[in-house]
Amino acid sequence: QKEVEQNSGPLSVPEGAIASLNCTYSDRGSQSFFWYRQYSGKSPELIMSIYSNGDKEDGRFTAQLNKASQYVSLLIRDSQPSDSATYLCAAYSGNTGKLIFGQGTTLQVKP
Partner 1 sequence: GAVVSQHPSRVICKSGTSVKIECRSLDFQATTMFWYRQFPKQSLMLMATSNEGSKATYEQGVEKDKFLINHASLTLSTLTVTSAHPEDSSFYICSASRDRVYEQYFGPGTRLTVT
Answer for which of 7, 20, 22, 32 binds partner 1 (CB under 8 A) is 32
User: For residues 106 and 23, what is the distance between their CA atoms, to the nearest angstrom?
Assistant: 13
Q: Is 25 in the site for partner 1 (CB under 8 A)?
A: no
Answer for which of 44, 72, 83, 85 binds partner 1 (CB under 8 A) is 44
Pairing of strands 71-76, 19-25: antiparallel
Q: Is 7 in the site for partner 1 (CB under 8 A)?
A: no
User: For residues 40 and 85, what is the distance between their CA atoms, to the nearest angstrom?
Assistant: 7
User: For residues 50 and 72, what is the distance between their CA atoms, to the nearest angstrom?
Assistant: 9
Answer for which of 19, 23, 34, 63 binds partner 1 (CB under 8 A) is 34
Q: Is 77 in the site for partner 1 (CB under 8 A)?
A: no
